[in-house]
Amino acid sequence: MLKTNDYAPLIKNALKKNESILFSCNCTVHYSGRAESFLGPGDRIVLIKPDNTIIIHQPTGNNPVNYMKPGAAIEIDNNDKNFVLNCKNLSLKEYLTINIVRIHFFNSHRMEDGQTIQIQGTEKDMAEMIYYNPSVIEEGFKPLSMEEHTKYGFIDVFGYDKDKTLTIIECKRYAADLSAVQQLRRYVEKIKSSKGVTFVRGILAAPRISSNAEKMLNDWGFEFKALTPPKYLEKFNRDQKTLMQF
Amino acid sequence: MLKTNDYAPLIKNALKKNESILFSCNCTVHYSGRAESFLGPGDRIVLIKPDNTIIIHQPTGNNPVNYMKPGAAIEIDNNDKNFVLNCKNLSLKEYLTINIVRIHFFNSHRMEDGQTIQIQGTEKDMAEMIYYNPSVIEEGFKPLSMEEHTKYGFIDVFGYDKDKTLTIIECKRYAADLSAVQQLRRYVEKIKSSKGVTFVRGILAAPRISSNAEKMLNDWGFEFKALTPPKYLEKFNRDQKTLMQF
DNA sequence: GGGGAGAGATGCCGC
DNA sequence: GCGGCATTTCTCCCC
């Protein structure tokens, strides 16, 4: 049975060998950086990755209670009284201190993973759907550009309607809120002033829109188009549903 | 040496006993819900909490590559060919499938933790600092309310300046951007129309402001006040700095 | 549950 | 590094 202090060389060795370190312990945690935080004593799971990411989880909840972004320097301050992990990110001016009382279990091992996650159903997928199938907005809509990073902002879809009126479409993959309306308003105003035209159509495309946002949208003369981001894996999804007997 | 399939009863037993489960495995992951995702084969760490949170980490990066929020139902589909964790959250219509090829290590244990993290240096701390020390904004400023949820919106600080002009202060703990200016603009316009006054001062208080945001702020006749959120633990921070020999 | 807004937001891309 | 913006954002709070 290892004593808490005995884990120091294990951690040092694992860090040197670029292993992932996983342990459970009773500890307190201090953080100082963009904000300040303190977490009193309790059992937590600590994950240290080969890129020196540090993630601390309590036994409930989706999010880590404390963490350090990749690239932290990790020092072990180990003596008869204390077992402390001092983590610093000098460029971000962030400091994390884990005071470890007892380690419940410890593991370190090398991980091999070259995969990148593939995600679909994003806002960009929505913009592409509109660009290649402009009739989902309305008949006669002719897109000119998509995902354009101009000095006027990042405009999702930009084109002319059947009456050759300049039209800006802002996509949201989730329910559109007040800030989405204001984003659209910002783009419309910038395009109006830069092109020197008095009217530009603004369309907010999203699965739905909040009541207050819809009111503001109408006040500003913009339009809402109900549209859901495409999920190309839906075939898989249906298969899964069969498999999992939903 | 356990075979991959042998872990099924271990997981079932740990779930029943409300233990936290930690394992490392080679797996593929499918997600379907708000979006769709697929992650090809590789080594990952899987954390399953007693509240049925599921978190999957790759060997690099701060954020989990896949996850399910607390409350997921977990089923084990285990036979000679496959070892699969099927996770569903019916109310959120989210589904996560982990196809496990090999388990590298496994641990489950009970965790005790009743602590809540204490954080300081938030936007609310900024608003309180202004409310109780209004001279940090300017001499003569008299705050009337703080953190007020009115039908006009959530206004950080609201009061009168030395000339008895209605003044709205929007706080940001980080660099103020375009959306912060538009948020202030929204509040000012709402208060103007609801109070029937022609002029309301708008002040954006933040550590700094982006160049474009400052331009928009000036265009709309608002003001910027450089202000940093207070960090009450700074004494601790200084001690830490000494301890850690920065 | 919806709506609004903060967060130690994080992460990505473009300049 | 800054800026602008999406995110399976997450979380909290109020109505």
Q: pLDDT tens digits for A103-131?
A: 999 999 999 999 999 999 999 999 999 99
- The two three-digit tokens of residue B97, written as one number: 């499938």
Does the pLDDT of residue A246 top 70, yes or no? no
Predicted local confidence at residue B233, as pLDDT: 56
| Among B20, B152, B204, residue whose Cα is nearest residue A58 | B20
Predicted local confidence at residue B2, as pLDDT: 78
**SS3 call for B28:** strand
Residue nearest to nucleotide D14 (CA to C1'): B149
| Among B85, B49, B83, B86, residue whose Cα is nearest residue B69 | B49
Residue nearest to nucleotide D6 (CA to C1'): A123
Predicted local confidence at residue A152, as pLDDT: 66
Q: How far apart are CA A57 and CA A47, in angstroms?
A: 8
Buried b (16+ CB within 10 A) or exposed e, A17-46: eebbbbbbbbbbbbbbbebbbbbeebbbbb
Residues whose CB is less than 8 angstroms from the CB of residue A54 and which lie 6 or more positions away in sequence, other chains included: A46, A47, A48, A67, A68, A72, A74, A85, A87, A96
Which stretches does DSSP call E strand in A49-130? 54-57, 66-68, 73-78, 83-89, 94-109, 118-120
* Count of A-B CB contacts under 8 Å: 218
Pick from B35, B60, B231: CB nearest A231: B35
Q: Is B219 on the interface with A (CB under 8 A)?
A: no
CB contact (8 A) between residue A36 and residue B233? yes
Residues paired with A176 in a beta bridge: A209
Mean pLDDT of A40-56: 98
The model's pTM: 0.93
Question: What amino acid occupies position A126?
Answer: M
Nucleotide minimizing C1' to CA distance for residue A35:
C8
- Give the residue on A whose Cα is nearest the Cα of B237: A32
Chain B residues with CB under 8 Å of A94 CB are none
Predicted local confidence at residue A233, as pLDDT: 55
Tens-level pLDDT at each residue, chain B (246 residues): 778 888 999 999 999 999 999 999 999 999 999 999 999 999 999 999 999 999 999 999 999 999 999 999 999 998 878 899 999 999 999 999 999 999 999 999 999 999 999 999 999 999 999 999 999 999 999 999 887 777 767 899 999 999 999 999 999 999 999 999 999 999 999 999 888 999 999 999 999 999 999 999 999 999 999 999 998 655 444 444 433 433
Nucleotide minimizing C1' to CA distance for residue B172:
C6
Residues paired with A153 in a beta bridge: A150
Mean pLDDT in chain A? 92
Binding-face residues of A in 220-239 toward B, CB within 8 A? 229, 231-234, 236-237
Residues whose CB is less than 8 angstroms from the CB of residue B84 and which lie 6 or more positions away in sequence, other chains included: B76, B77, B78, B97, B98, B99, B100
DSSP state of A41: E
Per DSSP, helices labelled H in chain B are 7-16, 123-132, 178-195, 211-219, 234-243
CB contact (8 A) between residue B62 and residue A40? no
Annotate A117-150 with DSSP letters as a single string.
-EEES-HHHHHHHHHH-GGGT-TT-EEEEEEEEE
CB contact (8 A) between residue A49 and residue B41? no
Predicted local confidence at residue A157, as pLDDT: 94
| Model confidence band, residue A234 (pLDDT cutoffs 50, 70, 90) | low
Predicted local confidence at residue A232, as pLDDT: 66
Chain A residues with CB under 8 Å of B39 CB are 115, 117-118
Asked if residues A39 and B115 have their Cβ atoms less than 8 Å apart, the reply is: yes
Predicted local confidence at residue B239, as pLDDT: 45
Residue nearest to nucleotide C7 (CA to C1'): B122
CB contact (8 A) between residue B231 and residue A45? no
Annotate B72-141 with DSSP letters as a single string.
-EEEEEE-SS-EEEEEEETTTTEEEEEEEEEEEEEEEE--------EEES-HHHHHHHHHH-GGGT-TT-
Predicted local confidence at residue B235, as pLDDT: 43
Mean pLDDT of A96-101: 97
Question: What amino acid occupies position A2?
Answer: L
CB contact (8 A) between residue B59 and residue A121? no
Query: Distance of CA A83 to CAs A27, A101, A215, B109, B242, Å?
Result: 10, 7, 58, 22, 18
Chain A residues with CB under 8 Å of B44 CB are 111, 113
State how far residue A163 is from chain B, nearest Cα, in angstroms: 31
Predicted local confidence at residue A238, as pLDDT: 46
Mean pLDDT of A29-48: 97
Give, as ranges, the nucleotides of chain C with any atom within 7 Å of a protein CB: 1-11, 13-15
State how far residue A145 is from chain B, nearest Cα, in angstroms: 23
Q: In 3-state terms, chain B is what percent helix, strand and coil (to 5)?
A: 25, 40, 35
- The two three-digit tokens of residue A127, written as one number: 């913009």
State how far residue A162 is from chain B, nearest Cα, in angstroms: 32
Chain A residues with CB under 8 Å of B210 CB are none
Predicted local confidence at residue B246, as pLDDT: 34
Selected residue of A29, A45, A48 to mutate for chain B interface (largest B Cβ count, 10 A) = A45
Cβ neighbour number for residue B124 with a 10 Å cutoff: 16
Does the pLDDT of residue A21 top 60, yes or no? yes
User: Any long-range contacts for A11-16 (C-beta under 8 Å, 24+ apart)?
Assistant: A11/A48, A11/A76, A11/A85, A11/A108, A12/A76, A13/A108, A14/A48, A14/A108, A15/A48, A15/A52, A15/A74
What percent of chain A shows pLDDT beyond 70? 93
CB contact (8 A) between residue B32 and residue A231? yes
Q: How far apart are CA A121 and CA A197, in angstroms?
A: 34
How crowded is the C-beta side of B115, counted as CA atoms within 13 Å?
22
Does the pLDDT of residue A240 top 50, yes or no? no
pLDDT in tens, A129-181: 999 999 999 999 999 988 777 766 788 999 999 999 999 999 999 999 999 99
Phi, psi of B5 (to 5 degrees): -60, -25
Q: How far apart are CA B176 and CA B194, in angstroms?
A: 26
Paired sense of beta strands B94-109 and B118-120, if any: unpaired
Give, as ranges, the nucleotides of chain D with any atom within 7 Å of a protein CB: 1-11, 13-15
Chain B residues with CB under 8 Å of A47 CB are 45, 47, 57
User: Whole-number Å distance, CA B150 to C1' D14?
Assistant: 10
